[in-house]
């Protein structure tokens, strides 16, 4: 189970006393009440503070809390330049974060020979000891026209829809992701079955 704690549209506490931390706790409490085993729940959030809250207050659930990395929207963040990352990969690990989940394009680059390879971001995440989940395969347009937002760092190496398997192979074998969100799971399932994963 991979629930995402969404940020509220309006600022909490909605004129009352309900806080973001209570919201994060409520989600875990509901899984406990449903009898879910902590190792079957990958609670996720775009807020690193939510993940840190789970790690501190609900360690059985928090140990596999997933930090959905949305820092690409921060004007000072450059996924190719570790000096712009706050928190750094090592700081995330130091705070107990074990799993990071950026969009696919942040994990991929094209080398000088035109081959899709792991990005600096992917390399640094693995060096820090983070597991990686990524999103979202098959949400973009046709790869023959570059694939859109999710393939923005691989456009120079993509020119047909079969290249999706190339991207998937690099994510699985070279980046070493532990999971991939997909809008059409048949492709990921086919790949996993062929590779015995």
Model confidence pLDDT, tens digit, residues 28-85: 999 999 999 999 999 999 999 999 999 999 999 999 999 999 999 999 999 999 999 9
* pLDDT band (50, 70, 90) for residue 10: low
% the chain with pLDDT above 90 = 81
CA 194, distance to chain mean position in Å, is: 24
Give me the pLDDT at residue 146, please.
79
Domain count, the chain: 1
Q: Which domain holds residue 190?
A: 69-195
Phi, psi of 48 (to 5 degrees): -65, -25
Before 104, cis peptide (omega within 30)?
Answer: no
* β strands within the chain, DSSP E: 44-45, 66-68, 99-101, 108-110, 116-118, 131-137, 179-182
**51-63 burial by CB neighbour count: b if 16+ within 10 A, else e?**
bbbbbeebeebbe
| Residue 18 falls inside a structural domain | no
| Residue 48 falls inside a structural domain | no
| Residue 146 falls inside a structural domain | yes
* Average pLDDT of every residue of the chain: 93
Give me the pLDDT at residue 116, please.
97
| Residue 145 falls inside a structural domain | yes
| Residue 132 falls inside a structural domain | yes
Residue 132 near residue 175, CB atoms below 8 Å: yes
| Residue 44 falls inside a structural domain | no
| Residue 91 falls inside a structural domain | yes
Integer angstrom CA distances of residue 171 from 4, 14, 58, 140, 141: 22, 41, 30, 16, 19
CA 92, distance to chain mean position in Å, is: 14
Q: Is the pLDDT reported for residue 159 higher than 70?
A: yes
The CATH number of residue 102's host domain is 3.20.20.190
| Residue 26 falls inside a structural domain | no
């Amino acid at each position: 189970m991979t629930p995402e704690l969404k940020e509220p549209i309006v600022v909490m506490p909605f004129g009352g006393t309900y806080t973001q931390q209570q919201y994060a706790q409520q989600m875990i409490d509901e899984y406990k009440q449903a009898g879910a085993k902590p190792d079957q729940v990958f609670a996720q959030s775009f807020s690193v503070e939510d993940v840190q809250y789970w790690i501190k207050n609900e360690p059985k659930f928090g140990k596999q809390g997933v930090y959905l990395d949305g820092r690409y929207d921060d004007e000072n963040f450059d996924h190719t330049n570790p000096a712009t990352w706050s928190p750094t990969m090592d700081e995330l690990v130091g705070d107990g974060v074990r799993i990071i989940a950026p969009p696919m394009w942040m994990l991929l680059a094209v080398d000088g020979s035109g081959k899709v390879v792991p990005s600096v971001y992917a390399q640094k995440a693995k060096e820090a000891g983070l597991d990686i989940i990524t999103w979202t395969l098959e949400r973009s347009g046709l790869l023959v026209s570059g694939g859109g937002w999710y393939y923005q760092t691989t456009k120079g190496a993509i020119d047909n829809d079969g290249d999706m398997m190339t991207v998937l192979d690099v994510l699985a074998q070279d980046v070493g992701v532990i999971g991939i969100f997909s809008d059409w799971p048949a492709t990921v399932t086919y790949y996993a079955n062929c590779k015995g994963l």
